[in-house]
Amino acid sequence: MPALVFLSAGCGRSGETSETASKNGQPASTTTQRQTGIFTNGQGDVITATRSDPRTGMRTKLGEFSFDFDRDGDDEKIELYTQAERAEDGKIIWDDGQDWLLVVIDGDDYYPLFDSRIQLGSLYFGVWQENNAPVISSAVITSAGAALKNFIYDSAQKGYKAQNGFDTGGINLLHSSIPSY
């Protein structure tokens, strides 16, 4: 089975709780990924389409790739964005934290696989196949840890099913060889 490994530097928000409120107005007890506080979708969650374009406010496209992820005969596009701007010389003007977006676009439908803030870290993605099934891997890397999540299109549920890859938990990342954007 192919493996995808990413490492970089930054800092995470360990052990955060999602801001979703329960019916009685108290915070929900759903805890996001322990080490980064970033992945808000858990094992088996399905990200369904929205017609609202989540790219609004994103200033810099960092990458894109086209492939037939849902195997309907037409290519979809996956795009990676950050809210950080590019300077005139092409370099990105990073702040301590940026909003990040990883989205699959299928016509007028948007599947936001990742749409959150990363503090002193980065988001990466890769696409691969296993048994002819396309898999999108996303990695959040911070100085406090690394987390990997895979997404596979589920035609029965008409969305991308999240699969936990790994989560290092709270660590102190000392070095990374992954280049910066």
Domain that holds residue 99: 46-167
Task: Please state which of the ranges 33-37, 95-99, 118-122 shows the lowest mean pLDDT.
Answer: 33-37
Dihedral over alpha carbons 57, 63, 165, 180 (to 10 degrees): -90
Average pLDDT, rounded, for the chain:
81
pLDDT confidence bin for 39, thresholds 50/70/90: low
Does some domain include residue 152?
yes
Beta strands, E only, the chain:
46-48, 60-67, 76-82, 85-86, 92-93, 97-106, 109-119, 121-130, 133-142, 145-154, 159-167
Give the model confidence (pLDDT) of 46-68 as tens digits. Answer: 999 999 999 999 999 999 999 99
Tokens representing residue 4 in the block: 């995808």
Q: What is the CATH number of the domain that holds 62?
A: 2.40.128
pLDDT band at 37 (very low <50, low <70, confident <90, very high): very low
Dig out the tokens for 26 from the structure.
């108290």
Do residues 164 and 149 lie in contact, with contact meaning Cβ atoms separated by under 8 Å?
Answer: yes
CB atoms within 10 A of CB 70: 20
Do you know the residue count of the chain? 181
Q: Please check the confidence at residue 5 and state whether its pLDDT lies above 90.
A: no
Query: What's residue 7's pLDDT?
Result: 37
Read off the pLDDT of residues 126-147 as tens digits, 9 standing for 90 and up. 999 999 999 999 999 988 888 9
Q: What is the mean pLDDT of residues 20-47?
A: 49
Task: Tell me if 40 is assigned to some domain.
Answer: no
pLDDT-derived band at 9 (thresholds 50, 70, 90) equals very low
- Reported as a pLDDT band with limits 50, 70 and 90, residue 80 is very high
Asked, for residue 76, whether it belongs to a domain, the answer is yes
- pLDDT tens column, 105-129: 999 999 999 999 998 899 999 999 9
CB 4 within 8 A of CB 10: no
How many structural domains are present in the chain?
Answer: 1
Please check whether residue 3 lies inside any domain of the structure: no
Q: Which residue has the higher pLDDT, 49 or 5?
A: 49
